Structure 1
Amino acid sequence: MMSSPMWTVPRLLLAALAVLWALPAHAGQLVRVGAAHFPPYTVRPESGADTGLLPQLVEALNRLQSDYQFVLVPTSIPRRFGDFKQARVDMAIFENPDWGWKDIPHTTVDMGLEDAEIFVAQREPQRGESYFADLKGKRLALFSGYHYEFANFNADPKTLAQNYNATLTYSHDSNLLMVLRGRADVALVTRSYLSDYLLRNEKVADQLLVSQRIDQVYHHYAIIRPTAPITGEAFGKLLRGLRDNGQMLKIFQPYRIAVVPVPDS
């Protein structure tokens, strides 16, 4: 039996509506966020695994609104400046203007997040906080590409090796193992990473001496290209939204990353 023409049109309309409902909602303007290996913020993004705090932040930003779709673009600590200048990425997160950005046109957005770089040595009898007062003659284990305040933010590997007796790696775990095995005297590690490391390696906690001395406080900023799809003002409003709904605390507090007040712009 053939369908009545009267019923054919409504059925076609319903079918069309069903197709539209099945399509994904408009995702908004694409904002490419540079993802460089910087644990625990970003962990080996080139592997394609969404691990670290940056993927969590991006997911929270995308859940918050639909005007922008934030996506991660793998880069590296040294390469991120070139990727930014050549517009391969629109923004870099967990940055600081002192880390080589001053001559690159950009807008900064205060993220209201603070971490710290601290000194770690092997615990020994009679060794205390004074051990970290003078680094001369000590073998240092550093993360390649990082800008350290004690070295005037000079990240050049040759300078660090020659002037500070430093071994550079791409792994905080490796640097801490060097200290534990007596191959380095002092490692510099982000407080957030050390907190996570000690949770994963409880047995070595009493073997490590953690300094009260801080090399630098990481006050995190977002660095945005002048022609990026999102403005600094708009991104700042999104971050305020995450602060207000509690997502910033939920993501960062477990890693001892402080969520601090942001001055009015």
Structure 2
Amino acid sequence: MLTLCLLPPAMAAQLVRVGAYHFPPYVTKPESPAPGGLLPELLAALNAAQDDYRFELLPTSVTRRYRDFIQGRYDLILFESPNWGWQGVEMDKLDLHISDAEVYVARAEPGRGQDYFASLKGKRMALYSGYHYGFAGFNSDQEYLRRTFSAVLTYSHDSNLRMLLHGRAELSVVPRSYLHLYQQSNPQERERLLVSARTDQVYHHHALLRRNGPLGAQALAELLARLQASGRLAQLLERYQLHATTDAALEQADPMQL
């Protein structure tokens, strides 16, 4: 007589939807069939390292991300700051202990040095629409930036840097990680750009999680700790010119004079 051994079916992995908007080098073209940047690679690494959760990228936009989060369209967003317009939104937070910074960039010219970055007054700025800048008190309102800082707003760091090189703007603010990668890809432009030694803001990256969502902050911390222990997280950060930090020693530079 043949005895059948009935085993319980394997439990399906819990789906975790991760919000993503175009934010190079963290995410590029999240709405495309093959998004690029650190985030898609990190999600692939998390999916490969365990079977309890399945991380899936969900495209949003730099301005729509708040509403999508509140409405529960996604469960988690990475490489964010609670200061970037999230005040008053109910959430759980996890410090990722990953740092980056935004730096001022201008066109290099004879006699122009670091003192050029001492004041914004009278300088036309090329900025990324929807971003929160330290010099503006993290106010991302387009009209405010245009009126107060003579800002031209675009949706591309490359466009902003080209505006500097072509004399259509005098200052831009770019993530340091992105600038390193840009200079690697465009070595001929390295000497044409003057980069500030001071920062506009230091990124203390966080994960923001929907309260009572499928994944809690402690569970996410444990998953990231596994990637850290395996060396995979460090490899990803190095590729994208980012750094892990375990302390709060990084401080934002003094505000510029307006």
TM-score, normalised with respect to structure 1 = 0.88
**Closer/same/farther in 2, CA of residues 233 and 67 from structure 1, 3 Å limit:** same
* Higher mean C-alpha displacement, 251-260 vs 204-213: 251-260
User: CA-to-partner distance for each residue in 1:57-85, whole Å, 9 max, x for gaps?
Assistant: 10111111111000000001100000000
Contact 2:125 2:170 in 1 (8 A): yes
Per the TM alignment, residue 256 of structure 1 is displaced from its structure 2 partner at its CA by 2.2
The 1-side partners of 2:128 and 2:68 are apart by 21
**Which residue in the other structure is 2:227 paired with?**
242
Q: Point out the structure with the larger helix share.
A: 1
What SS does the aligned partner of 1:203 have?
helix
Structure 2: how far apart are the matches of 1:98 and 1:104? Answer: 11
Question: What stretches of structure 1 move > 4 A for 4+ residues in a row?
Answer: none
Structure 1 residues 27, 196: closer, same or farther in 2, change over 3 A? farther
Structure 1 contact 99–147 (Cα < 8 Å) conserved: yes
1:150 and 2:135 are equivalent in the alignment: yes
Partner residue of 1:216 out of 201, 216, 230: 201
Whichever residue aligns with residue 189 of structure 2, its letter is: V
2:29 paired residue number: 44
Name the SS of the counterpart of 1:102 in structure 2.
coil
Asked whether the 8 Å contact 1:33–1:90 carries over to 2, the reply is yes
| Distance of 1:61 and 1:262 partners within structure 2 | 24
Could you tell me which runs of 5 or more consecutive residues in structure 2 were left unpaired when the two chains were aligned: 5-9, 249-258
| Pairing 1:9-158 to 2, within 5 Å after superposition | 27-158=12-143
**Aligned length, in residue pairs:** 245
Match of 2:152 among 151, 164, 167: 167
SS for the counterpart of 2:18 is strand
- SS at structure 2 position matched to 1:250: helix
CA contact (8 A) 1:26 1:66 kept: no
Deviation string 1:229-261 (CA, Å, 9 cap, x unpaired) is 011110111111111111121011133211111
- Say if 2:20 and 2:59, in contact at 8 Å, map to a contact too: yes
Are 1:252 and 2:252 counterparts?
A: no
Structure 1 residue 111: deviation in Å? 0.7
RMSD: 1.9
Q: Deviations over 1:37-66 (max 9, x none)?
A: 000100011122231110011011111111
What's the CA shift for 1:112? 1.0
1:232 and 2:217 equivalent? Answer: yes
Unaligned runs of 5+ in 1: 1-5, 14-24
